Amino acid sequence: MKLHRSHIIHAAFILVGLIFLTRLFFIQVLSDEYRLAAEKNIIQPVVEYPYRGAIYDRHGDFLAYNVPIYDLMVIPKEVKHLDTLAFCQDFGISPQTFDEAFKKAKAYSYVKPSFFIKNLSQETWAEIQDHVAEYPGFFVQARTVRQYPTPMLANTLGYVGEISPQQLAKDTSHYYKQGDMIGISGLEKSYEKALRGERGIRYQVSNAQGIAQGSFKEGAFDRVSVPGEDLKTTIDTALQMYGEQLMENKLGSIVALVPQTGEILALVSSPSYNPNLLTEKDFSNHFVALEKDTLAPLFHRPIMAMYPPGSIFKLHQALIALQEKVVYKNTSYTCNKKLLKCHPHPSPLSLHQAIQHSCNPYFHHVFRNIVNQKVSNNSYKDTRLGLEKWCGYLKRFGLGTALGIDLPGEKGGCVPDAKFYDKRYGKGCWKASTIRSLDIGQGELLITPLQMANFAAIVANRGYYYTPHLVKQIGARSILPEEEDKHEVAIDRAHFELIANAMQGAVEGGTAWRAHIKGIAICAKTGTAENPHGADHSVGIAFAPSENPKIALAVYVENAGWGSRAAASIAGLLIEKYLQGTVSRAWLQNYVLKGDFFH
């Protein structure tokens, strides 16, 4: 019995020995697990960030390009026997900054590389590169940041910043990592996927001192980065710069576009800022200062500000009334100032004259004719039915909803419908006299400057528009207007001809006379939008030439008074600049630059 037990014990020992021998043979001869683990200690993965795509204007000139910068990275686990004081002296930082950065790196990961000092310039990198090899666990990683050669178009171009934890959590593609840069606003955000490219990775072998010895396995496991695609925009730099110059020290917007395509030539938001402020090392301080600025330079007025359109809305009213056959070319009304205030002009007036001289009482009758067509004997119900039809026309003009420009944050304005007034006054408790402010584009009606310019394009095209857009080419791919981008407004072309002729009359002998340019048939309409919070706003839309127009635009200058002054002047100067390449009326340019529109 004892002998039998000893055999069992011996067999057990032999079996265990065989297991250990087999495992040892597998580890030493067959498996490369530990060899790879050993190699990993000297193999350093280096992320290759792709070049972000550049952004160009319509003529191929740079709007945004890249400049190299460097980040000092750290892998906390590999930091050994560090002389903190010497490190701080070599890299020009304080011990407190070192402690905070190292604590943050360890909190992120003890074994993964993370940022230690960001945004080192090429000059700084040249000064410190000899010291990096002296500190195991630290290495430098190159990448690029944005540079803007001309300090303009800031809100349209947008800016690039470090991805936030919230954005990282929402990244379903799992492309981004902590510390990555991402488009935050403007075109940089809208076209992020095209602009960013695809990052690569390079494995390099380093010795015990951290000095690079070359590629691991001759780059067999490397992945080459793919550069981002360039964007060619529709922006005309000369026109954009001139528009920004004219809007200096003013609040408001300019939107200019090509009517036949929807290509945006200029998108001026004033006040603005130098886009290079949000690319530098002191990004946070600059951003906070801009965010706290009471004039809101980060607010993109052309697509986000919603204003009452004022008298330019009389054109909408006229087109709807003509299509509904409740007003005709020769329909005449007296300028009855008991109905609405108005300025001196001839009376009575035809529709052409009412547009030319911007008669308020005339358009009181026009709106009443639209909403009260005697469909019902009940005036409240009749107004309700008429207003719903009126709203349908405005929606076809692109009002009350975002137009779909390729920028984030576009607002749609407000077209008050029957439900809106039911909520405000109660169902069956309002009629035409209740909502009479809509007669001349006031009251609850709100429109963005982009929508105003788009309407100018509709009239220029005699009844259609293409979705306004800023990018015409991505990489080698041209973006041409598609059929679905064309929007017909379902109003007879003949009615647009009448309106265009009246707008030309406003320039040649009416409220928009300051927009007149010798030799160019300009069509324009001005407006003075009432502002309960201060001085009235100056509004204007225009296009030129009258036949085969090359440019349509809208100008909105806050607190500048009459549209015939600020808006008409700026519109005329911009049209002349774009069509002729120069400005002949220095007195008008000086008048606008001075900005005193009340005297």
Burial label for 436, CB within 10 Å (0-12, 13-18, 19+), is middle
> Rounded to 5 degrees, what are φ and ψ at 235?
-70, 135
What pLDDT is stored for residue 599 in this prediction? Answer: 57
Enumerate the CATH 3.90.1310.10 domain ranges in the chain, comma separated. Answer: 67-144
Cα angle: 104, vertex 107, 108; to 5 degrees: 90
Q: Identify the DSSP state of 466.
A: E
Taking domain 67-144, whether its CATH number is 3.40.50.620 is answered by no
480 exposure class (CB count in 10 Å sphere: 0-12, 13-18, 19+): exposed
Average pLDDT on 68-96 reads 90
Q: If pLDDT is split at 50, 70 and 90, which confidence band does 1 have?
A: very low
Q: Which of 241, 239, 253, 238 is nearest to 297 (CA)?
A: 253
Query: Does residue 32 register a pLDDT over 70?
Result: no
- Residue 355 binned pLDDT confidence (cut-offs 50, 70, 90): very high
pLDDT by residue (tens digit) across 359-385? 999 999 999 999 999 999 999 999 999
CATH level 3 topology of 237-287+300-594: Beta-lactamase (3.40.710)
**What are the tens digits of pLDDT across the range 87-146?**
999 888 999 999 999 999 999 888 888 889 887 877 788 888 888 888 988 988 887 889
Q: Compute the mean pLDDT over every residue in the chain, rounded to the nearest whole number.
A: 91
Question: What are the start and end residues of each CATH 3.40.710.10 domain in the chain?
Answer: 237-287+300-594
Contact 258, 466 (CB under 8 A): no
Sorting pLDDT into bands at 50, 70 and 90, what band is 37? Answer: very low
